[in-house]
């Protein structure tokens, strides 16, 4: 007899999944409001590229739009196309710009290409001369040497009276190479260069600050800030306490609990030998799920310079990863957790409220951005809405 829909539990799969990810949507909204306040007189956009940093562009985009965001940044046109129904009246900027064959996607979905090269600029001028007026943005390289029009080309463009009337830039922008280090002299150098660009494009809105730059204060705010990692609870500036609310909690299920004797080895390579009789939890997460091999407690080159690997959290205790992390499996040392406090089927927090995202990332020699965007497809997701709190 089939189960009645009246008895269907929408969280059933979540509560039994080997891997699960909880995304706190009100926290994302609060983080955006925080960054909007820090932006002062400037508007705060929302960067939702890479599937909203791995957390789901549809739900995150809808949440940010309802919170008040009206400017969004994505990396590629397909992301903008996905976002458009959830942010119907927003400006959606596409950071990778536009190439021949893509232009109709921009026109049909009212996407704004961020033009970053002279080739893209020439193509877009041709496209809008046939189509008619459609907004664009200009990315100018002020010293990053990554994306952007060279300063000289941007200055020439600003005074080029031959450009078509349908060419309508609505934003000129650049990006800080060392924004996460407030004391780095590169920030001031780029700021001075960008001020020259902004003056040349008088009357067009300007933006140079992503999350980190927003924290640097009003000099960097201009007309529009572009917070990204801060919205998702990650650290934007190195060496200072992170003021943002944690957003994502990743957990993995205990598949097996085993006892092992002092002197026995753990995981591939027999790289870790137990110094005491131990209780070990075999947990259903590995590097295929973005729980990086470099987080391993032992048996990898990083441990030669950083003594500890990652920790998980269960029943009020931090529990270390021991041995090498494998594709689907990680082993945690539960010896110091009271035996009655956990059982097979319980979940170990990988990062979240108790194991902060960037602390875990540092143990693997990386940053919170990579931890979030590198999660695989095997997490069962649950979105916490305001009414769930």
Residue 2 lies in a domain: no
Do residues 216 and 101 both lie within one domain?
A: yes
CA distance 4 to 18: 26
Do residues 292 and 323 both lie within one domain?
A: yes
Catalytic residue among 37, 86, 268, 317: 268
- pLDDT on residue 303: 77
- Report CA 189 to chain centroid distance, whole Å: 27
- pLDDT on residue 149: 96
Residue 131 lies in a domain: yes
pTM: 0.93
Do residues 74 and 191 both lie within one domain?
A: yes
Residue 156 lies in a domain: yes
Please tell me which residue, 162 or 309, carries the higher pLDDT value: 309
Do residues 153 and 254 both lie within one domain?
A: no
Catalytic residue among 37, 49, 53, 65: 49
Do residues 348 and 309 both lie within one domain?
A: yes
Residue 318 lies in a domain: yes
The structural domain count of the chain equals 2
pLDDT single digits (tens) 66-109: 999 999 999 999 999 999 999 999 999 999 999 999 999 999 99
- pLDDT on residue 262: 98
- pLDDT on residue 388: 53
Residue 199 sits in which domain range?
39-232
Do residues 224 and 252 both lie within one domain?
A: no
Do residues 91 and 115 both lie within one domain?
A: yes
Query: Mean pLDDT of all residues in the chain?
Result: 94
37 is catalytic: no
Do residues 290 and 252 both lie within one domain?
A: yes
- pLDDT on residue 3: 44
- pLDDT on residue 160: 85
Domain edge (last residue) among 232, 261, 279: 232
Do residues 225 and 270 both lie within one domain?
A: no
Residue 32 lies in a domain: no
Residue 33 lies in a domain: no
At 295, which CATH number? 2.40.37.10
Do residues 61 and 94 both lie within one domain?
A: yes
CA distance 244 to 182: 18
What angle, 0 to 180 degrees and rounded to 10, lies between the N-to-C axes of helices 185-200 and 151-158? 20
Report whether pLDDT(6) > 50.
no
CA distance 295 to 362: 9
Residue 220 lies in a domain: yes
pLDDT single digits (tens) 250-286: 999 999 999 999 999 999 999 899 999 999 999 999 9
- pLDDT on residue 286: 98
Domain edge (last residue) among 232, 258, 279: 232
Within 13 Å of residue 140, how many CA atoms lie on the same side as its CB?
A: 26
Q: Could you tell me which residues are beta bridge partners of residue 278?
A: 260
First-last CA distance in the chain: 35
Over residues 178-205, the mean pLDDT reads 96
Q: What angle do CA 193, 197, 198 make, to 5 degrees?
A: 115
- pLDDT on residue 168: 83
At 156, which CATH number? 3.20.20.10
Residue 228 lies in a domain: yes
**Residue 10's pLDDT band (cuts 50, 70, 90):** low
Domain edge (last residue) among 208, 232, 256: 232
**Residue 159's pLDDT band (cuts 50, 70, 90):** confident
**Residue 164's pLDDT band (cuts 50, 70, 90):** confident
**Residue 387's pLDDT band (cuts 50, 70, 90):** low
Do residues 108 and 214 both lie within one domain?
A: yes
CA distance 115 to 124: 8
Do residues 330 and 376 both lie within one domain?
A: yes
241 is catalytic: no
- pLDDT on residue 166: 77
- pLDDT on residue 131: 87
């Amino acid at each position: 007899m089939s189960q009645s829909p009246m008895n269907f539990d929408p969280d059933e799969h979540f509560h039994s999944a080997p891997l699960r990810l909880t995304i706190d949507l009100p926290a994302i909204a609060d983080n955006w409001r925080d960054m909007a306040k820090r932006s002062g007189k400037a508007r705060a956009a929302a960067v939702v590229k890479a599937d909203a940093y791995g957390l789901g562009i549809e739900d995150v985009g809808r949440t940010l739009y309802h919170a008040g965001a009206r400017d969004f940044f994505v990396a590629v046109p397909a992301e903008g196309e996905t976002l458009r129904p959830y942010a119907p009246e927003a400006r959606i900027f596409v950071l990778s710009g536009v190439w021949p064959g893509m232009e109709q996607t921009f026109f049909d979905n009212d996407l704004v290409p961020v033009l970053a090269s002279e080739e893209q600029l020439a193509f877009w001028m041709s496209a809008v001369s046939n189509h008619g007026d459609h907004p664009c943005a200009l990315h100018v390289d002020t010293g990053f040497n990554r994306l952007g029009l060279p300063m000289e080309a941007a200055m020439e463009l600003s005074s080029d009276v031959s450009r078509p009337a349908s060419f309508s830039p609505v934003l000129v922008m650049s990006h800080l190479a060392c924004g996460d280090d407030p004391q780095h002299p590169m920030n001031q150098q780029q700021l001075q260069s960008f001020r020259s660009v902004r003056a040349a494009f008088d009357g067009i809105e300007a933006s140079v600050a992503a999350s980190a730059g927003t924290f640097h204060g009003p000099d960097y705010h201009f007309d529009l800030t572009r917070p990204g990692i801060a919205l998702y609870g990650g650290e934007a500036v190195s060496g200072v306490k992170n003021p943002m609310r944690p957003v994502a909690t990743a957990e993995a299920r205990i598949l097996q609990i085993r006892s092992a004797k002092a002197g026995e080895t753990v995981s591939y390579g027999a790289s870790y030998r137990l110094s005491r009789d131990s209780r070990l939890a075999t947990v259903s997460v590995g590097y295929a799920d973005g729980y990086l091999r470099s987080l391993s407690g032992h048996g990898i080159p990083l441990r030669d310079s950083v003594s500890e690997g990652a920790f998980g959290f269960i029943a009020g205790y931090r529990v270390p990863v021991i041995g090498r992390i494998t594709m689907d499996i990680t082993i945690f040392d539960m010896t110091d957790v009271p035996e009655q406090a956990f059982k097979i089927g319980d979940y170990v927090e990988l990062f979240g409220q108790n194991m902060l995202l960037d602390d875990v990332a540092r143990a693997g020699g990386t940053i919170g951005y990579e931890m979030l965007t590198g999660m695989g497809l095997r997490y069962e997701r649950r979105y916490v809405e305001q009414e769930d709190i």
